[in-house]
A and B are shown apart, each in its own frame.
Chain A
């Protein structure tokens, strides 16, 4: 009896490892830029409803970090990046099916400060004031919003003077969190993120001087669900998804 129980419990434990594989017959893993978190979480159930039997799994982080995961072999089916540069790197490393690549939304860069207790910033130049001690930006190498910020500040010749004040965050949502908590005096995020944060942050300016914030999506070359993945990329460009994106403040591709 003892031996039977031991075998039964080991078998049950082993089953918990195997079962997820059985269920994943129609599972799609989507790695998406952090700024797409809320819109994609709303679109997920809609896509699953339109394709019964399919499940979507999302993985949100900075586009550069996601690319690293894919390059190291993470089992991802679709990659949605917040800038063309990261998708270009994915293409150069032969990680995507280039013919599935399409742009699906646009966004804009904004300068924000905490809603309460802010330093009263009105423009980019105000960032140089002594009252502004810390500015949150995305890590330039891995976070697209950081790259756009660098373009803007380089163009305004403010990057070097402001460099001692930067706190470099791992994703745009972390920048948003720092500003929302009041731990920094200013930050650069997308307008859609500022909307999500509601009354915790205040948009101060919408700087220009960066390449258009255009989000591409593509199917990963090693994906095992190519048909479903392609369906998803088409879905993102369709009317239903575009209406949802518009509600969150994204622009047309």
Chain B
């Protein structure tokens, strides 16, 4: 069986794999930046309504992917104020481009980073931060040299989970970016297309590759969780 799989892998178009890695990579970086910023805000600077705000940010975790995809279409599509403005002034749209896949994946990955970052920041010992302040460190410096390094393992674990989630993203990105071979067809969409067309052997090969990558990511992520 391995022989025929190897033969098959030589004739398979591996573009979806590279595209998935690219989209998931960029989306995870975006989710990381937003997740760390928001996580710190919710953990350290609670304001009236911050509980509700955090719940709204966590929504993509429980909303059906089609709802998220439709939401992005409504907010950034051609008929939306934002979409129309972007098309008119920059001739730019995220719909049917890999940028759209990145946006959809970042939206669904954000809650995973946010929750981990928020918990990680809440767990940092305030007295250590206070000690750093008494040593004349600016708030920014306290963050970079004390808070973030202490919260890092938890944040990293959440980021790896976010990456795995972004790799597997399908429903929302299918609605926003479509499944254009060579441009926006990620690994999950390629599997879906192969199954629909009846190419079970190719679908199986892609499923194996996706599973191996996802399991690897989860195993590494587990390591970081247990470091805490």
Chain A interface residues (CB < 8 Å from chain B): 64-65, 68, 71, 117, 134, 139, 141-142, 166-170, 181-184
Contact = CB atoms under 8 A, between A and B. Distances in A.
A142 B95 CA distance: 23
Q: A-B pairs with the 3 shortest C-beta distances?
A: A182-B78, A141-B197, A167-B178
Given A183-B96, A184-B96, A139 B78 contact: no
A68 B198 contact: yes
Interface of B: 73, 77-79, 95-96, 178-181, 193, 195-198
A167 B95 CA distance: 11
A181 B73 contact: yes
A240 B78 CA distance: 42
Nearest to B178: A167
A134 B178 CA distance: 12
> Which of B73, B77, B78, B178 gathers the greatest number of chain A CB atoms within 10 Å?
B178
A164 to B, nearest CB: 8
A71 B197 CA distance: 12
B178 A168 contact: yes
A183 B198 contact: no
B195 A68 contact: yes
Contacts of A170: 196
B77 A183 contact: yes
Contacts of B181: 168
A166 B180 contact: yes
A183 to B, nearest CB: 5
B79 A182 contact: yes
Contact of B180 (A68, A71, A168, A181): A168
B201 to A, nearest CB: 15
A65 B197 CA distance: 7
A168 B78 CA distance: 19
Given A183-B95, A183-B96, A168 B196 contact: no
